[in-house]
Structure 1
Amino acid sequence: MESVTRRAGRPRSFDPDVALDTALAQFWEHGYEGASLARLQEATGLTAPALYRAFGSKEQLFERAVKRYQDKQGFALNDQLPFRRAVAEYLSRAAREFATGPGRGCMISTGMLATSPDARVAAEAVRIERERALDMIRNRCDDALEQGELPEGTDTESLARALAAVIQGMSVQARDGADTRQLQGLAEAALAVIPSRG
């Protein structure tokens, strides 16, 4: 019966969610290009044809891994807290998670910092996620200005970009070996970029 026939090259215990999580870990640790097809095959236990059948292509697998990463690891500024506290919590969480995650740092910030022209689709996937993160921070800054939590005339665009740059820098430093304490110190210092109401 065709419905129970196992596809060639796919282990009997194949679970797409497990395979995707395994691929995500590889992309997070090694970046898009460092996670070679051979590395992905070895980690997932799937042959190249089985990977392609399940996920389409390496770029499509990466796009799905990016979405999975955001679903499982992504976080935003808490809109239930005062702005400064929300930023402090946001940066503190980044300090903890970037130093202890499977791949260290943020997959979105560091997974595609440099890549070949052949990986344009994958590079675009993480660029879009970085832009979404920036939009989230920008919107929260605009709300804080409107609610009087920031001084009148605050350049919320520049403030949002500064906070996004801090997060991205924390990710790179985590990849370079910075621990939670060091990243937490950076997070606390970064709060100084938030203008005071005086």
Structure 2
Amino acid sequence: MNEISAESMQPTLTGSSVELQPLREDHAQALVGAAADGQLWNLKLTVVPGPASIDAYIARALAGRAAGTVMPFVIVRRDESAQSGRIVGSTRFWKIDRANRKLEIGHTWLAESAQRSTVNTEAKYLLLRHAFDVMQCVRVQFTTDELNDKSRAAILRIGAKQEGVVRHERIMPDGRKRNSVRFSIIDDEWPAVKAMLEAKLAAR
């Protein structure tokens, strides 16, 4: 899928510190470079592409976009840091259900040096704003590993509510049967969540 067709199927979302650009095949090397910052492909609680898996990772994402169920992005810093202009991770809309106006935000990962910064907060804000204000979603959900305390805390910090545990929700690459925790934000909650996130970003 070329850049023109990618842009026609999903937008670029631009904030003060980050820009979310539609994923392309030629992002492969930059994504592997971002994942190398912390050797993220060795993590057991999430799946991050490495040199051997990046082509399949991108191919699956682009196939999902062609099917209309996925919008995959690369996360690009655009602040005053030494990493400005660089791809520092990836995220996506997936499980897009237009009939029921709902989707999931997931497959999010950040280079180690971009963690514990405003990058994740602003990326989530841009995604949520597009989902609720442009796509008119009534529900946005998040799913993470039951064992991933860091991810669970981060999802709660952006205003999502925990709904429950989905047992044996997926099988991880190492064969572990993963229990997943499901969170969501619904349209009635979005105005308050939006105001909270905008206050967080303004105070950085």
TM-score exceeds 0.5: no
- The structure that is helix-richer by fraction is 1
**More contact order relative to length (CA 8 Å, sep ≥ 6):** 1
Q: Tell which structure's C-alpha radius of gyration is larger.
A: 1
